[in-house]
């Protein structure tokens, strides 16, 4: 078997793309999107029709409203290819507004329902801010499942577990990027590869904490820079992987053995984290704090660029 098929024996493979034409060849169970991926896709000629259709179907609507319909349109097309779930991200400008996040999530679920997609096949993506996590808590209580993204540290993972979220997406590659940049010329790529990769270590810590305490929240490692990071996390509940890295794995014959597995007796659940403890943990972790802020800012920029494309189409 190639490396991708071996990986499937240990981990549920998810495609990280808005390019649904690429999905069939890799046979992922689920797919994830974000504002950056949808912006990239809609700028390709073969996906331009989705943008044009969303604008034409909602004359006079604001760009934000059309953008929601466009995100759902991508999700609906993706679900024609994958048998499982699609993750759709809400407006990142609401990352610190729990009430608005909940309202937006409900609208997206309603749009999917109108397209004949049951809520069980949709994960609402929210940033792992305190507000985002509390919005997820409310949504989960209402039967709307969530994917907490831009997650960089154990404190965020603990708060997500407390809120009963369905799934978290710890970002391997962006953690790796931060530590590599911080080390500068002293960075030793070979010494920091595989299990020593700081992004890999972070996911292992979170995975072990969840399994040790019997936490049901799924761990979906995300944001990979190379296949070595993926192979080092074989056994993680899920992994969301870009098409380029899926292709590398499909063409490789590198052995893929299970690296992560639940071990030992389940311990009592830890004491729930307070907002003050959450804030203090982020304040003490410059990597997590900076990457969370940076990630939200980039998604906001790409959301605003997408809305500019919508407005240009409305004026065409």
> How far is Cα 169 from Cα 166, in angstroms, rounded to an integer?
11
User: What residues are paired with 126 via a beta bridge?
Assistant: 148
User: What is 20-45 written as a DSSP string?
Assistant: GGGTGGG--SEEE--HHHHHHHHTSG
Active site residues: 125
Nearest to residue 32, comparing CAs of 188, 190, 200, 146? 146
- Alpha carbon 80 to its chain centroid, in Å, reads 20
Residues 237 and 217 sit within 8 Å (Cβ to Cβ): no
Q: Name the residue among 237, 203, 205 with its Cα closest to residue 218.
A: 237
Q: What is the DSSP letter of 137?
A: H
Q: What is the DSSP string of 244-306?
A: HHHHHHHH------------SPPPPPPPPPPHHHHHHHHHT-HHHHHHHHHHHHHHHHHHHHH
Q: What is the DSSP code (8-state) at residue 82? A: -
Q: Which residues of 250-286 are buried (b: 16+ CB within 10 A; e: fewer)?
A: eeeeeebeebbeeeeeeeeeeeebeeeebeebbeebe
d(CA 238, CA 217): 11
Q: Which residues of 126-143 are buried (b: 16+ CB within 10 A; e: fewer)?
A: bbbbbbbbbbbbbbbeee
């Amino acid at each position: 078997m190639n490396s991708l098929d071996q990986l499937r024996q240990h981990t549920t493979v998810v495609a990280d793309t808005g390019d649904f034409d690429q999905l069939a060849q890799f046979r992922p169970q689920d797919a994830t999107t974000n504002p950056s991926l949808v912006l990239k896709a809609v700028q390709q000629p073969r996906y331009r029709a989705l943008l044009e259709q969303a604008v034409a179907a909602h004359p006079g609507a604001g760009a934000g409203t059309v953008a929601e319909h466009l995100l759902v349109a991508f999700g609906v097309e993706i679900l024609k290819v994958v048998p499982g779930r699609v993750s759709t991200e809400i407006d990142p400008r609401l990352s610190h507004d729990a009430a608005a996040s909940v309202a937006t999530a409900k609208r997206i679920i309603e749009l999917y329902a109108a397209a004949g997609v049951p809520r069980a096949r949709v994960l609402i993506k929210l940033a792992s801010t305190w507000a985002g996590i509390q919005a997820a808590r409310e949504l989960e209580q209402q039967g709307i499942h969530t994917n907490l993204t831009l997650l960089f540290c154990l404190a965020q993972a603990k708060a997500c577990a407390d809120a009963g979220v369905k799934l978290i997406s710890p970002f391997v590659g962006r953690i790796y990027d931060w530590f590599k940049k911080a080390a500068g010329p002293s960075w030793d790529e070979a010494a920091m590869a595989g299990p020593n990769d700081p992004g890999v270590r972070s996911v292992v810590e979170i995975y072990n904490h969840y399994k040790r305490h019997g936490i049901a929240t799924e761990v979906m490692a995300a944001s990979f820079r190379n296949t070595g990071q993926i192979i080092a996390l074989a056994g993680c509940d899920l992994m969301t992987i870009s098409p380029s890295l899926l292709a590398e794995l499909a063409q490789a014959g590198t052995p893929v053995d299970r690296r992560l597995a639940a071990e030992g007796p389940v311990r009592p659940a830890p004491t729930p984290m307070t907002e003050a403890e959450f804030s203090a943990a982020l304040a003490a972790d410059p990597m997590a704090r900076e990457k969370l802020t940076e990630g939200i800012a980039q998604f906001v920029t790409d959301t605003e660029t997408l809305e500019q494309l919508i407005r240009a189409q409305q004026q065409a």
